[in-house]
Amino acid sequence: MKMGTALRAAGAAGIAAVMGLAAWRYGWFFDADAYRIEWTLFAAGIAAAAYVMRHPPRPADAGDPLVWLLPLAMAACYGAALLSGPASVQGTVDAMLRWTALAGWFAALSVWRRLPGSRPWGEAAIHVSGLFLLLGGWLGWYGVLSFPDIVQRFDDPELSATGVRLAGFLQYPNAYGAALAFFLLRWWQIWAGSDAGTADNRTGGRSSRVRLALSSLFSIPYGGALALTESRGSTAALLAGFLLALLLAGGRQARIRLALAAVWTAVAAWAAARGAVIGTEESAAWGGGLTAAALIAGIAVMYAMGLWLEKLERRDGNTRRLSIGWESLWPVMGLLLAAGIYAWRSGWLPGGRLAGGNYETASSRMLFYRDGWNLFRDSPWLGWGGDGWGSLFGLYQSLPYVGSEVHNGYLDVLLDVGMLGLACLAGLLAYGLWSMWKNNHSRVAIAPAAVLLIHAAVDFDMSYGWTWLLLLAWIAMFASVERTTEAARPPGALRRLAARGAAALLLGASAWGAWAAWHADAAARAYAAADREAAPAAREAKLRAALAANPADGRIRLALAPLLPLAGERASVLAAGRRYEPSSAPLQLQLGLAEAELGLEAQAETSLREALRLDRFNREAQTAAVAGMMRLADALRFQDRDAEARMASEAAVSFYEEYRRLAQQVEAMDHPANDRRFEMTDAAEYHAARAYAELGRLDEARGLLARLAEGTTDWGDQARQLLDTLDRPGR
């Protein structure tokens, strides 16, 4: 094997391995699961930087190191947010690590891309990762592969028409659907012959029959899996990308082929998906047989249709053109489309959620965007740091919806790093699109990328590191590489200095990232090990080790605090966490409860009020605040600190009345977005009744207790006992 071929093969294997591993690790959504992936990318970045320091690129070389500064600029934006005081230090550092690792990934791909003929290898590696996602989804659907939440079940028709949706390794049907749509559109382009790459790709001499066979083989399974996700946003993004692909196809032949590929795939893929759904609802044998028949027939017909189109071509000079036009294909396309629409609307195909008009999830997104906009307005330039929405949405949400993600990648960046970060992101994406656009043979690659970029406007695809691995690899593969006489000219002194400066920045950032990720990974491993321990002492020891390795991780403090026997130490550990997460409602709540246990009435009330301010639609926190202040009142009264005990009871009443006001507001709404099931709890009413009684407000206490006494729960039993006590003579 020649050295060039070996390097191309090694690079392609590395691309497939990194993307496959990231997909397997839940799409690199959780940073705690990805520190070791980041180590690999930091090492790749260091190697690329070291290579460029020694071999600065010539003027026409691919992968100008100055471009590496674009993802590094995103990391720098999070660094600026870190210095300005973020909502979450851990979330901000994790975002810095992710973008620094992505810069290393982009740099390594750019250096490897200098090899002539590397683009086909790179795209093949990307497709291998896509097939890994696809195969995992189908195997998970049929129970062959066991993977957490690879298939999700729903009772709500607003979330699923069939009650089951394919989520893949990404554990989220919409993000998985967007990834499938990206690859499906690309296979359509390959089937249509509109996938020409850069000049080094067009000289590769690949067999058109092989390409036709592969694109026919994979298009129908991709389409079927996409149908099983029931993702409306992904389907809409695919349609938009398809229309863009038609515009970029550059010829009648490619456009006709693209249209035929899309229509036939829609029919065959929906049939395959229907069989898969029947397999879960009625008969596994019948459903599996239908799916297999639809896939086999769909693939065979698609391949035969491609061969038929080749026979219809006629030569015109040095080009080949179809001897038929749109007017000859309209009957065929119309018949296929009509059959698909009839089957869909009749319920034979899975698609009721797309056609049925349940758009409550879309209206919920508008709530996210409205509340997110208010959050942005309070910190427009530098944002709130990493995980800004996740840290603060409880404070800004106008209704008790569940939404730890804002469901808009661009708004998420805006909340994290403000206008500065959004400008850097726009620069990165603009470079990627421009680098593909300026070469006529690479323009068609814009369409699959557009699918992801469009879908990111309505969901949180950009929260997956895997999405960025894909986008940056796509940009690196299809960036224009002009081979001109300039390529032989050595770089000038200024260019060498700029290239080495960019490489030095990446080198330093990657070295820092490797160090920071090592500590974060040590903490994550200790935290995971603590979960596996049954003995409290062993669990406490491992959590202490985790906290020592990474004091910024609030999860560790919240897990460690209940294991500490002394309330003073619990309060100390939790209070120290406010330095890293000043807006953490769970941290404030547990701190307030610890302070109440210590008998610190004023401090406990302040901490609990802050916890409820940060997350007022949390019924468990509201209940805990009322109960905690009443336990404190009991303890203070036992210590003959009657004045403070009365203040604690007044605080409990104050918490309860605010809780009641919020619950009544939500109950009075016609159609509240109440996914958090925010309502009044029996426990809160019982402890409030005790507080009313201690303050001498007996009528209000009796009213609450009488209602509770009608129930059959434990709170009803306690209410009846307390009511009997209040009704005794002398009260």
* pLDDT 10s digits, 434-468: 999 988 888 999 999 999 999 999 999 999 999 99
- If we measure between CA atoms, which residue out of 683, 714, 616, 695 comes closest to residue 653? 695
Alpha-carbon span 125 to 372, nearest angstrom: 38
What is the maximum alpha-carbon separation in the chain?
Answer: 110
Residue 156: predicted pLDDT? 75
Whether the pLDDT of residue 370 is over 60: the answer is yes
What span, in angstroms and rounded, lies between the C-alpha atoms of 84 and 417?
11
Identify the pLDDT of residue 674: 87
In sign, the C-alpha dihedral spanning 414, 416, 421, 426 is negative
Q: Which residues lie across from 266 on neighbouring strands?
A: none
Residue 698, Cβ density class (10 Å: 0-12 exposed, 13-18 middle, ≥19 buried): middle
CA atoms of 570 and 185, how far apart (whole Å): 55
Domain with CATH 1.25.40 in the chain: 565-691
Question: What average pLDDT does range 77-91 have in this prediction?
Answer: 97
Model pLDDT for residues 407-427, shown as the tens digit of each residue: 999 999 999 999 999 999 999
Q: Pick the range with the lowest mean pLDDT from 60-74, 125-139, 221-235, 570-584.
A: 60-74
Q: How many CB atoms lie within 10 A of CB 404?
A: 11
For 244-256, the pLDDT digits (tens) are 999 998 777 788 8
| Fold annotation for 565-691 | 1.25.40
Any idea which of 545-554, 620-629, 722-731 has the lowest mean pLDDT?
A: 722-731
- 3-state SS of 46-61 is HHHHHHHHHCCCCCCC
User: Does position 316 have pLDDT exceeding 50, yes or no?
Assistant: no
**CB-based contact 259:337 (threshold 8 Å):** no
Average pLDDT, the chain: 89
Among 210, 218, 193, 209, which Cα is nearest to 131's?
218
Whether the Cβ atoms of residue 261 and residue 254 lie closer than 8 Å to each other: no
End-to-end CA distance of the chain: 96
pLDDT band at 724 (very low <50, low <70, confident <90, very high): confident
* pLDDT at residue 330 greater than cutoff 90: no
Q: What is the pLDDT of residue 731?
A: 54
Q: What is the pTM of this model?
A: 0.92
Is pLDDT at 350 greater than 50 in this prediction? no
| Rounded Cα distance, 198 and 115, in Å | 13
Contact 430, 375 (CB under 8 A): no
- What is residue 321's three-state secondary structure? strand
pLDDT in tens, 527-571: 999 999 999 999 999 999 999 999 999 999 999 999 999 999 999
Confidence of residue 496 (pLDDT cuts 50, 70, 90): confident
